[in-house]
Amino acid sequence: MYKDPNNAPTLPAYETSGQYAVWCCYCCRLHWHGAIPGHRRAHCTVPGSPYTTTGYVLDRAGPLTPALRKQYRDRRPERCRACGHQVSRLASERCMRCGKVLPAKRPGRVEVTA
Ligand SMILES: [Zn+2]
Ligand SMILES: [Zn+2]
């Protein structure tokens, strides 16, 4: 049930093997749907995700390429160090459950400067 379907955002949907992959910035992962454009119910696992009240509209954006897959894989969700809740850094700088500010990301291995 959508409380507010009129405010559903339109998201790019990437097609692969008869399915649409939609990046959810609240879950920090791809949601999978059958490859039919239109309004969908979000499969969000993050409490308080706005998509669970609005759903979203799938807009066909082309094939899910290996480059896109890698790009999305690099945005994996993180765990809050204080309470263990799964948090999405892209959606908020704070844990949605306990409010703790997320620590800075570890620097990449390649960033070695003298
Ligand atoms: Zn989601
Ligand atoms: Zn937390």
**CA-CA distance, 86 to 109, in Å (whole number)?**
24
Return the closest-CA partner of residue 21 out of 53, 52, 66. Answer: 66
CA angle 87, 88, 92 (to 5 degrees): 100
Identify residues whose C-beta is under 5 A from ligand 2, the ion: 80, 82-83, 85, 95, 97-98, 100
Tokens of 110: 């390649």
Q: Which pLDDT band holds residue 18 (cuts at 50, 70, 90)?
A: very high
Beta bridge partners of 78: 87
Amino acid at 62: G
Q: Which ligand is nearest to the CA of 51?
A: 1
CA distance 43 to 88: 15
Q: Would you say residue 114 has pLDDT above 90?
A: no
Q: Which range has the worst mean pLDDT, 82-86, 100-104, 108-112?
A: 108-112
Each domain of the chain, given as residue ranges in start order, spans 5-73, 78-109
Q: Name the pairing type of β-strands 10-16 and 56-63.
A: parallel
Nearest ligand to the CA atom of 23: 1
Whole-number pLDDT of residue 3 = 66
The pTM assigned to this predicted structure is 0.67
- For 41-91, write each residue's pLDDT tens digit: 998 988 889 999 999 999 999 999 999 998 888 777 778 889 988 776 766
Distance 71 CA to ligand 1 centre (A): 17
